[in-house]
Structure 1
C-alpha cells in the first residue's frame, strides 16, 4: 500500500505543477473589471468582480480541474500511508513548475532559480528519507485535534495579515500568502488523515469524523483563496515551492502531535528532520530572491516575461 501511495502522490505532484502554471497565467493576465485608469497595483485584496472574472477564464478552470484530480490522488494516498511518507513527496512539483513555466515563456531558467529548486528538493527528499523509517500511527483524540486545528488556524490568520498588509505585487507578499495557504493545506491533509483513522475505529458518522470534515472544508476554502492571491502577487514557482515545503512540514508536525507518527523517532532523527526542513526553507527563499520577477523588481524594471507563464 505504501508503494501505491507514493505512486499516487507522484501523479498528484504532476497535476499540482501543471495547475499552478495554468492558474497563475489566468490570475496575472485577467484585468480587474472595476480597475481605475491608473490600474490597481495598490490593491491588497482581489475584488469580488475580479475574482469572478478570473474563475471564468478557461485556463483557470483547466487548472482547477487538474488541481482537483491531484487533490483526489493525494487524498487516496493519505488513506493508504502515514503523513510523514506521503506529504513531502509533493516536492517534485517544484522542478516541474519551474520547467513548465520556463517552457511556456520559451526561456531557460536562471542558475539561481535552478539552484533554489535543487536545494528545496534536496531538503524535502532528505526529510522523506528520515521520516519513512519511523512512521507509526495511533488513534487521534477530539480535544487534541481541536487544539491543533485552532493553533494552525491562528498561524494562517497571522501570515495572511502579513501578506495582505503589503500593497501590490512582490516576492515578500507572495511568500506570506503562499505560506498561509501552505499551512491551511497542511491542516487539511492532517484532518483527512485523522478522519480516516477515526472512521476506522468509531465510524464515519462519529463527531470527530464530522468535525474533521467541516474543518477540512474550511481549510480548503481558505487555502484556495490565499493561493489565488499568492499567484496574483508573484510567480508560480515561488507559490508551489512554499506549498510543497510548508504543507508537508505542517502536516508532519500535526501528524506527530495527533497521531503519534513521531513517537518512535530518535533525537538524532529529529535533528536530521530539522536540518532537512531548514534546507528546504532556504531553497524557497533562494528561489524567491533569484526569480526573474524579484530581480526585475530590485532593478526597478517591469517583471520578466517568465512571470506570465
Structure 2
C-alpha cells in the first residue's frame, strides 16, 4: 500500500516552512538555461563540423575542439549551461530533492519544442511518447527516493568505494570509445555522459559537505581530481553527442541517466534506502525502466536521429 502518511508528512513540511518553495523558481530558470544552452552548443558543434569538412560523430579532434572555443554560439551555450548548474545547486540549497529534481526534466520538454521549431520539424507520436516516458519515469524515481530515502553521512570507506567505481566507469567508457569510435552512435555518448555526470553530481555534493566542515584532506583532494576528470570526459562525450544527434536527445539522456545514477549510488553505496519497503523497490525498477526505455525510444524514433 502506498505510504499516504509519508506524503502527508512531506505536505506538512512545505506548509510549515514556505521557504522550501523558494527553490522552485531557481529550478525552473535552471531548466530554461539548460535547454537554451544545449541548443546553442549543438549549433556550434554542427557549424564546426561543417566548416572542418570532417565528421565529428566519431570523435571531435583537437582542431575541432579549439574551433569550438572560437564559435560564439558554442561559448554562449557553455555559459548558459554553467549558469544552469548554479541555479540548480541554488534550488537544492533551498528546497528538497523531491520538489526540484523532477522540474529539471522540464528542460527536455522545452528543448524538444524549441528544437522542433528551429529545425522546422514535427515530432512524431513515438518521440512524444518517449519524452513523456522520460519525464514521468524520472519524476516517479526521484519521488520514491525522496519518500523512502534517509540521509546518511558519507564515510571515508564509502567515499573510496565511490571513487573506485567512478574510475572504473571512466576507464570502461574511455576504452569502449577508443575501440568503437569510428562507429559510435549518439546513444553511446549520451549514456556515457549521463553515467559519468551521475558520479560527478555525487562527488560535488560530497566535496561541498566536506569543505563546509573544514575536512580538506587527501581524500577530498582525490574527489576534486575525480570531479575535474569526470567533468572533462563527460563534456567531451556531450559534444560528440551533439554531432551525432539532436539536442533534445542529449538533454533526455542527461536529465534521465544522470539523476538515476546519482540516486543509485546513494541507494547502493550509501544505503540511503536500506529500509525501503517492497513497494519502493518495485517503484524504483518500474520508474527506471520506463525512463531509460524513453531515452532509447527517442534515440530510435526522433525525426533527426541518424541511422
- CA distance in 2 between partners of 1:165 and 1:89 (Å): 37
Q: Equivalences for 1:92-111 in 2 at 5 Å?
A: 92-111=106-125
| Matching residue of 2:227 | 216
Q: Does 1:115 align with 2:129?
A: yes
Q: Does 1:181 align with 2:193?
A: yes
Taking structure 1 as reference, are residues 133 and 113 closer, same or farther at Cα in structure 2, changes over 3 Å only? same
| Matching residue of 1:60 | 74
Q: Does 1:231 align with 2:242?
A: yes
TM-score (norm 1): 0.83
| Matching residue of 2:29 | 11
Does the aligned pair in 1 maintain the 2:57–2:185 contact within 8 Å? Answer: no
**1:250, distance to aligned residue in structure 2 (A):** 0.9
**1:78, distance to aligned residue in structure 2 (A):** 4.2
**1:8, distance to aligned residue in structure 2 (A):** 2.5
| Matching residue of 2:6 | none
Q: Does 1:135 align with 2:153?
A: no
Q: Which of 162, 185, 207 matches 1:148? A: 162
Deviations 1:231-252 (A, max 9, x none): 1121112111111111001110
- Unmatched tracts of structure 1, length 5 or more: 298-309
Taking structure 1 as reference, are residues 19 and 164 closer, same or farther at Cα in structure 2, changes over 3 Å only? farther
TM-score (norm 2): 0.84
Does the aligned pair in 2 maintain the 1:112–1:290 contact within 8 Å? Answer: yes
- What is the aligned length? 289
**1:181, distance to aligned residue in structure 2 (A):** 1.0
Higher deviation after alignment, 143-152 or 4-13: 4-13
| Matching residue of 2:39 | 21
Does the aligned pair in 2 maintain the 1:144–1:258 contact within 8 Å? Answer: yes
**1:194, distance to aligned residue in structure 2 (A):** 1.7
Taking structure 1 as reference, are residues 13 and 187 closer, same or farther at Cα in structure 2, changes over 3 Å only? same
SS of match in other structure, 1:44: coil
RMSD over aligned CA atoms reads 2.6
| Matching residue of 1:245 | 256
